[in-house]
A and B are shown apart, each in its own frame.
Chain A
């Protein structure tokens, strides 16, 4: 027993100590990448190369002094880029310029330039999914701007731009101006036989007023959510605007709140704004004469949030009219988006094929080989059901207290 005990102890000690901490990398020896930008550049020999830009956090500057005073540069991020034929090659080149080991797992966002996306992103999807260190919950987006510029500009309230992009996506449920696309969605959509992939679109927009020179107006650039990039296969074929994206999100995501603006019934120049809550969409697929058909039912509750008209909640007829107005408004939005997706792009990004498959699996087997063309021709009927329920805190219209003789 004693011999067994000591022998085991000795072997364990050897096993642990003689490994010399293989694979160890201290957290302070890592260059933690917060955001990745991918651009298309033309190399000297005319080949098209990938430029990888990495936004790396300086922990001491990003967090301030947490322990002992450490040398701080005042710059919370450090951005470097490298160009090569493949992403991995560029990443290896980045490493030769960094004093710390570049660590990709904490990357908040991957931004792909639209030019690069138009050439196909299959290699990108493959690389980021093949790598075991990377998270599947990283946000993925396309941008019309230079991805390197987008990744290296300090924007938003956060110290680290990657974190502010993360925040943009996280709280985009209310603004609904871009889909929340993560690496895992990208992968799923690419591998799916029915759904085409789409990515959020980010844009640099001059909307920040400098505190030091406010008279110059909105000069400073900020990253903004700006619609959706639509893909066919792995190639970008077009974009949806932020407004169209709102209608798209009805199909593909849970939405918390939307906005509807309608003209006043008595005065065409004035508007009422409604917040749309509890928006739900039901898609009922049908198969008629060898063609797929879809019936969409949108139900939503509207809340009056701002108005220039005289709307009181005591008049049921008026409310009913208003509901119809909002329905029409919503209907035109959804129809516009459907029109663009069906006729202009001709790709199913609405997961319609998926729904159809669930309902008519045997018919799906015939249609799936050429689904996009069937989707293009599919008739889509739209039903709207808006309930105007509350005027928030006000029941009666806001009117001035001053009495004027008419």
Chain B
């Protein structure tokens, strides 16, 4: 049984302008921001027009210019006798001739008109015409493109995504000027009608991936999408898993890089976080900096991050299992130091570790939620009370503070925030297992986590690839970041075996090669030789004649080549 509202939405625009006004008014009643502007065409004063728009989400300048255009409109059909028919076609005629706006659509039913109004366009209905005009006037306040807060780089582009999807797609399109770059759009959310763009480079993306993404997105039936995590959780693989199988990023360069690798990006309106699928676990440990710095530096900082990952996952557990189960595994001198620090501590190590971890999370959370000016207070309280007073009071051992601090810092070194969180979470089962069963518990829990991680997939790709399953060709961008001239192929998740780049390792110009390259290189070769000659002159005068001979030889060879070509 369709409701009253649905019936109204389904109505066609009628020729009676008052009926239309009533319908639209009743649908959009009780809205303070709805503006209804009545006016008459300047040259056909008898024609009444009404414009609807929602204040705040429209661009006032565009409304002004639209009004100006409409009022000064002079019908091309004015000479014709049949005034009525001309009025009927008026909307279409205006659409064709009103060239001042970039996008004008003709709509013939209430639903389209209302949708246009809600999207920030203005709806203009004209008396005696059963068609309305939807004039694009989207606007309103937007945040400017700023440096992304959650992923910062030292070297690399500083622009970040904003809440506006068009700005976001533009940031990517500005980077990839490829005709194959696609931005397929769809709307999700019955109330929010959130625009979603699926972006990919056709031909690079693996067959079926885009279809799979679309299929999963189409299955979503929800009233609202407020952030891309809604989408992420609704389409992801392994929905219970703590590991994220969908990447999110604020960086357009990261999205562009992912697209070039054959991945699919999902833009969601009203959030600066763009989703990227499929991903491997290791992608969360790689930052854009890796690719923008010297390859050795990039490799080194990547290792630092891998170490940070291992520390943040295992360090508290290892400390707990060593000090409460396997003291024989600690070097003697260190064992004494730990024992002396723990001499007065009344709690077991496991309890101490859990409490300290929770306190650390508390401080981090409080620092984040607090108004910024008070944020300082948290760090002072944290460092003084927890760091020093608790140790002095004999509640916490100094070693535990070091362990927890080291773990915390390491977890901040993981570039992706949500990945850092999932690692932080998996640390707790590990901690409890190693605090209750020692090394056995640690190994057991670690294996459970590892087996789980191996078993999951992200949009058809193994989560732990290229480590396991081992993919030899993908190793160039895994433990070691190869120089760009060494990374020739796209990762295996891209379609086919496309060569990504065929530049060879840069080398100094070679005589032999140059001499075979025609007239311009003749001069080059000559230059090169004469250079050498000058060098020889200054150093070893005796060899001069020989060098000149070589130069002559090259020149004559060039000449021969040229002749042959002729």
Contact = CB atoms under 8 A, between A and B. Distances in A.
A66 to B, nearest CB: 4
A160 B441 CA distance: 34
Contact of B344 (A19, A57, A68): A68
Given A25-B327, A105-B328, A67 B336 contact: no
A106 B327 CA distance: 9
Interface stretch (B162-170, B246-254, B393-401, B551-559): B393-401
Interface stretch (A27-35, A199-207, A250-258, A392-400): A27-35
A66 B337 contact: yes
Interface in A39-97: 57, 59-60, 62-70
A103 B340 contact: no
Contacts of B330: 27
Contact of A133 (B328, B340, B441): B328
A176 B240 CA distance: 64
Contact of B325 (A17, A24, A135): A24
A63 B341 CA distance: 9
A198 interface: no
Nearest to A65: B340
Interface residues of A, number: 39
Interface string A221-248: 0000000000000000000000000000
Contact of B393 (A25, A68, A103): A68
Interface string B322-352: 0111011010110111111111110011100
Given A5-B240, A66-B337, A25 B324 contact: yes
B441 A16 contact: yes
Contacts of B394: 67-70
A59 B343 contact: yes
A214 interface: no
B286 to A, nearest CB: 29
Most chain A beta-carbon contacts within 10 A, residue among B325, B330, B335, B339? B339
A157 interface: no
B19 interface: no
Contacts of A24: 324-325, 348, 435-436, 438
A22 B486 CA distance: 53
A190 interface: no
A23 interface: yes
Given A28-B342, A62-B340, A67 B349 contact: no
Contacts of B454: none
Contacts of B349: 26-27
A32 B344 contact: no
Contacts of B436: 16-17, 19-22, 24
Contacts of A66: 337, 340-341, 398
Interface in B376-401: 391-395, 397-398
B135 interface: no
B238 to A, nearest CB: 10
Most chain B beta-carbon contacts within 10 A, residue among A20, A26, A105, A135? A26
B160 to A, nearest CB: 36
B339 A28 contact: yes
The binding surface of chain A is classed by DSSP as: loop
A12 interface: yes
A16 B327 contact: no
Nearest to A159: B336
A207 to B, nearest CB: 26
Interface in B430-445: 432-433, 435-438, 441, 445
A30 B437 contact: no
A2 B441 CA distance: 25
Given A16-B432, A21-B436, A28 B345 contact: yes
A62 B336 contact: yes
Nearest to B349: A26
B393 A27 contact: no
B429 interface: yes
A70 B350 contact: no
A59 B336 contact: yes
B448 interface: yes
A62 B339 CA distance: 10
A404 interface: no
A183 to B, nearest CB: 14
Nearest to B350: A21
Nearest to A100: B339
Contact of A32 (B324, B336, B343, B391): B336
Contacts of B324: 21, 24-27
Interface in B336-376: 336-345, 348-350
B398 A63 contact: no
Contacts of A17: 432, 436
Interface of B: 240, 323-325, 327-328, 330, 332-333, 335-345, 348-350, 391-395, 397-398, 429, 432-433, 435-438, 441, 445, 448
Closest CB pairs A-B (n = 6):
A68-B394, A105-B328, A59-B340, A63-B340, A59-B339, A28-B342
24 contacts: A1-B240, A19-B436, A19-B437, A22-B437, A24-B324, A25-B327, A26-B324, A27-B323, A27-B324, A27-B330, A27-B349, A28-B342, A28-B345, A30-B339, A32-B327, A59-B343, A62-B336, A63-B339, A63-B340, A67-B340, A67-B341, A67-B391, A103-B327, A106-B335
Interface of A: 1-2, 5, 12, 16-17, 19-28, 30, 32, 34, 57, 59-60, 62-70, 103, 105-106, 108, 133, 135, 160, 163
Given A21-B324, A67-B345, 17 more contacts: A12-B448, A19-B436, A24-B348, A26-B348, A28-B345, A30-B339, A32-B339, A34-B332, A59-B339, A59-B343, A68-B344, A68-B394, A68-B395, A69-B344, A70-B340, A106-B328, A106-B332
